[in-house]
Structure 1
Amino acid sequence: MPKYLGKLLEGFEAEKWRREVKSDQRLIPSPKSLIEPLSVRELEGLNLIAQGLSNREISERLFLALSTVKGHNRIIFDKLQVSRRTEAVALARKLGLL
């Protein structure tokens, strides 16, 4: 039961963070250097990447399929014009996205 309870609490925390991001659009700057700005969901994934979570951990935290997380990552990397997680995080910090 403790493992299930932990998963439930993680879900509530993820939902709380999603609501905070949606309610405060100032967290989503639109740097002119980006071809297309990142969506709320993409920023959420980028934040979890920056925390060092694996794709599997991100999928569990956000209740998404692993393939969906990988698809979000590909879109994030395309929008940031990078090819690695470390590059994405470094650029996002430089642009003020994290």
Structure 2
Amino acid sequence: MRRVDVIGVGFGVFLAGGLVYLALNFLGLDALSAGIWSQVVLVGGLVGWLATYLARALTQNMTYNQQLRDYEDAVLQKRLEEMTPEELAALQAEVDSENSGGLK
């Protein structure tokens, strides 16, 4: 995320808090109660976002991890495409011997 995006998100959250406050004030809550409830909504949103972030971080389902897996798969695919038929046959024989040796 770029710096300007972070500033935009921060400004958006600031505006959302103000809009929640104004909406609650318009619905009849006094200024103090509207302020408290708008903070409750914003903190609840923050805690919810944090929970999803932690879940993605713990399951390694983040953008960086996905890009790394895609890169590793592409490198392996390119190496396989560059192998000669003899090298592929030797690799297949090695894999078959490891698989049959591991099952015994």
Q: Same fold (TM over 0.5)?
A: no
User: Comparing both chains, which one has the higher relative contact order based on Cα–Cα distances under 8 Å and sequence gaps of 6 or more?
Assistant: 1
Query: TM-score, normalised to structure 1's length?
Result: 0.35
Higher radius of gyration, 1 or 2: 2
